[in-house]
């Protein structure tokens, strides 16, 4: 990650927490990721985990509660401070040799230039789409994943973004290839083409274990109020169908579990 060009959320971390994490879309994302990760055999015993671009650390804190040791990294000091505060509130240890969670303000580029260790599980969720050079990030991530280890990668799906905007009638936006002059602060600046992501992870030495769509139905509801009023039913449907095609390819985000050769 290049701090001069990649996005940090310092200054808007609280807004991000309120509008993204504390919403129906944030809850679906967390439930889907935890369900997918629970299928990994390596998490059936205590595991060392690296969370790159960890943000406010919801998934990391959940894994720590399950008995895993997690190292959270991010370029945003504000995001890490929120994650550390949540860890303390939940009674998780963050200091000492047996700490359940460790925090460091580091970029992916910093981590990959000075590799201290490789991890059996590396998380990289909703980060690639904020980077100036997402293809390079896959190669950097591969240096941090142990041979035979797993990368949990979630990215913003440009195909799904295009579809939803066509359905909303935003034809000029689609014709402009989903680019606008005025950037929306909480909207990813660089949605990714799934076929390109596939090329990048293959070139970096990864192969697919599983693919899941995240918010396959939530974002397409004509009646937006149903996202909250019928949340339990919506979540049940998301979990039932989001690993099946065509739904897996329609999620606003795509979650891949990848293994390193």
Return the HEC string of 99-153: CCEEEEECCHHHHHHCCCCCEEEEEEECCHHHCCCHHHHHHHHHCCEEEEEEEEE
Round to whole Å and give the CA distance between 241 and 231: 15
Percentage of residues in the chain having pLDDT higher than 70: 89
Token pair listed for 160: 């799904």
Phi, psi of 134 (to 5 degrees): -65, -30
Look at residue 83 and give its three-state secondary structure: helix
Structure confidence at residue 97 (pLDDT):
87
Query: Does the pTM of the predicted model rise above 0.85?
Result: yes
> Could you say which residues of the chain have pLDDT below 50?
1-4
User: Given the structure tokens 């293809």, which residue do they identify?
Assistant: 135
Structure confidence at residue 23 (pLDDT):
87
Instruction: List pLDDT tens digits, range 49-70.
Output: 999 999 999 999 999 999 999 9
Residues facing 255 on adjacent strands: 154, 212
Mean pLDDT of the chain: 91
How many residues are listed for the chain in this entry?
Answer: 261
Structure confidence at residue 189 (pLDDT):
72
**Which residues fall in the annotated binding site for S-adenosyl-L-methionine?**
29, 53-54, 74, 125
How many Å separate Cα 10 from the centre of its chain?
Answer: 18
Contact 64, 100 (CB under 8 A): yes
Structure confidence at residue 160 (pLDDT):
96
Which of the four CATH numbers 3.40.50.300, 3.40.50.150, 3.40.50.970, 3.60.15.10 does domain 13-260 have?
3.40.50.150
**Which residues fall in the annotated binding site?**
29, 53-54, 74, 125
User: In the chain, what are the domain boundaries?
Assistant: 13-260
Instruction: List pLDDT tens digits, range 148-200.
Output: 999 999 999 999 999 999 999 999 999 999 987 666 556 787 899 999 999 99
Structure confidence at residue 8 (pLDDT):
58
């Amino acid at each position: 990650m290049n701090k001069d060009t990649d996005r940090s959320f310092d200054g808007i971390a609280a807004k991000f927490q309120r509008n993204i994490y504390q919403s129906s879309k944030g809850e679906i994302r967390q439930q889907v990721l935890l369900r997918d990760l629970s299928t990994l055999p390596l998490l059936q015993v205590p595991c060392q985990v690296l969370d790159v671009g960890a943000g406010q650390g919801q998934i990391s804190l959940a894994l720590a509660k399950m008995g895993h040791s997690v190292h959270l990294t991010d370029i945003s000091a504000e995001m890490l401070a929120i994650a550390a505060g949540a860890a303390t509130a939940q009674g998780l240890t963050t200091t000492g040799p047996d700490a359940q969670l460790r925090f460091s303000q580091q970029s992916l580029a910093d981590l990959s230039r000075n590799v201290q260790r490789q991890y059996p599980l590396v998380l990289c969720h909703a980060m690639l789409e904020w980077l100036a050079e997402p293809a390079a990030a896959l190669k950097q991530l591969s240096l941090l994943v142990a041979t035979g280890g797993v990368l949990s990668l979630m990215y913003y799906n440009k195909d799904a973004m295009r579809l939803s905007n066509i359905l909303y009638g935003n034809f000029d936006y689609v014709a402009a290839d989903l680019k606008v002059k005025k950037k929306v602060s909480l909207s990813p600046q660089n949605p990714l083409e799934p076929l390109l992501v596939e090329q990048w992870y293959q070139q970096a030495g990864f192969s697919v274990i599983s693919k899941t769509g995240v918010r396959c139905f939530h974002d397409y509801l004509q009646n937006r109020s149903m996202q909250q009023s019928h949340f339990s039913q919506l979540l049940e449907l998301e979990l039932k169908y989001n690993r099946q095609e065509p739904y897996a390819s329609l999620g606003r985000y795509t979650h891949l579990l990848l293994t390193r050769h």
